[in-house]
Amino acid sequence: MEIKRTTEIFVETNRRLVIRQPESAEHFLCPNCNDAMLAAEQIAVVFGISRRAVYQIIETEAAHFVETETGFLLVCPNSLAKILANRTETLGEKL
Residues of this chain that bind Zn ion (CB under 5 A): 30, 32-33, 64, 76, 78-79
User: Which of residues 56 and 78 has its CB atom nearest to Zn ion in the complex?
Assistant: 78
Query: How many C-beta neighbours within 10 Å does residue 66 have?
Result: 14
Cβ at position 38, least distance to Zn ion in Å: 11
User: Which of residues 1 and 56 has its CB atom nearest to Zn ion in the complex?
Assistant: 56
CA 44, CA 54: separation in Å to the nearest integer?
Answer: 6
Cβ at position 65, least distance to Zn ion in Å: 9
User: Which of residues 12 and 73 has its CB atom nearest to Zn ion in the complex?
Assistant: 73
CA 30, CA 80: separation in Å to the nearest integer?
Answer: 12
DSSP-derived 3-state class of residue 83: helix
